Amino acid sequence: MVKVTFVSSDGTRREVETAEGETAREAALFNDVPGIDGDCGGVCACATCHVHVDPGWIDTVGRLKEGEAEAELLQFAEGANEYSRLACQIPMEAAMEGLVLHVPAQQY
Ligand code: FES
């Protein structure tokens, strides 16, 4: 299991556990994390799973890659910044133990 903390825009922290190989989207949905809807089912088509990766974790998670579908979709998302990722595109792995993801205020 891998622990990940979702931080709401009001500062509320929710630490959840998820299995390696599951995505951060699934970790949020299975634990009723507010602001992560994941409407498209995790196929990188809706951006309702937009998160800001905590700056201390961005190198582990990886930044958006220009030209890829995820980056194309997020360029239209409100509140997108250099730490933006789609939770459905973040497969959890052991190296992410303690990962912190922020839910943008625009997600509510
Ligand atoms: S769930 Fe739709 S883009 Fe992630």
CA 26 – CA 59 distance, rounded (Å): 21
CA distances from 55 to 32, 42, 67, 69, 83 (A): 24, 23, 22, 22, 7
Residue 16 CB–ligand 1 contact under 6 Å: no
pLDDT mean over 20-27 = 97
pLDDT value of position 106: 84
Q: What is the residue-wise DSSP string for 43-64? A: SSSS-TTEEEE-GGGHHHH---
User: Would you say residue 108 has pLDDT above 80?
Assistant: no
What are 39-93's pLDDT values in tens digits?
999 999 999 999 999 999 999 999 999 999 999 999 989 999 999 999 999 999 9
Domain ranges (residues) in the chain: 2-97
pLDDT given for residue 76 in this prediction: 87
* Superfamily of segment(s) 2-97: Beta-grasp domain (3.10.20.30)
Say if residue 31's pLDDT is above 90.
yes
Single out the residue of 11, 9, 31 nearest to residue 19, CA to CA: 31
Ligand 1 atom 3, closest CA: 44
The atom of ligand 1 lying closest to the CA of 41 is 1
